[in-house]
Structure 1
Amino acid sequence: MDATIYHNPACGTSRNTLEMIRNAGIEPTVIEYLKTPPAREELAAMIAAAGLTVRGALREKGTPFEEMGLGNPDLDDEALLDAMMREPILINRPFVITPLGTRLCRPSEVVLEILPDTHKGAFTKEDGEMVLDADGKRII
C-alpha cells in the first residue's frame, strides 16, 4: 500500500504516527513538510479530504499564530492558506494520505483508520501508552 506522511521529526505525534505506519508493514513516502511544504492547491485538497476546515488544520502551539493575528475569526480560508504557505510551521501535523483516506493524525492512532489491518504486533507510543496489543489489535 502506498502511504505519504507530512512529517516533522521533532514532533512526538508525528514520530509515533510514522512508526505505526511502519508497524503495519508499510514504508511510506516521508515528506518533511517544513523543508518541502505542499503546494497551496495540494494543501487545500489534503485539508478537504481529511474533512477539516482550513482553520481546523492550523497549528497554534509553537508557531507565530498569535503574532500573525490568525485568531481573528474574520480571516477567510484564502488568508489562512496564505499564512500557512508563508510559515509552514502553521500546518498542523502529521497529515497522512493512503488509498483508504486522508487524516490529520492527532492523536497519532487516528492513522489506524486509514491503514490495513496488517500490524506486526504490539505498539507503544513514546509516552508509554499502548495502542496495539501483541496480536496487532487496537486497544480501546
Structure 2
Amino acid sequence: MDALVKQTRRYLEENCQQLDLHIIHRFPVASCETASLLLGKILADKYPEKDIKLVKGTNSKKYEMHFWINADGNTFDITADQFKGVTTPLYGEESQVILNRFDDLELIPIQQALLENDFSNTKVEQFIEISNVIRNEI
C-alpha cells in the first residue's frame, strides 16, 4: 500500500499543473481535500477489501480544515508537509503535529465521500483515468 501512496504523491507532484482538478495546481499546498479524495479512490480501486476513510480534521479554535486518508487504521497524508513542523508526507504513520492541530476528526467512508463531494463527483472520469494510470505504474 505504501508504494501506491508514494506513487500517487509523485504523480501529483509531476502532473499537478496539467490536471483539471480543484486547486490541485498548488499541490501539496491547499489541495488536501482533492488529493485525499483521489488517493482514497486509488486505494479503494486497488484494495476493495480495505476499510478506507476520508478523514476531515477541523480546528475548533479557528476556521481551519485538513483532509487525509485512513486505511485500515493507517494514516496516509500526502499533503502533510504543507504544515510547519512536518517535513514529509505521512505514509502509514501518525503525526502529532497534525493530530494536535485538528482536534475534531470526522471519518467518512471513501465511497460516500466521493459521491457527496462536488470536487470528485463532477470529475468522475478524470478520477477513474488517474486511478488507472497510477495503479498500472505499480
Q: TM-score, normalised by structure 1?
A: 0.30
More strand by share: 2
Greater gyration radius: 1
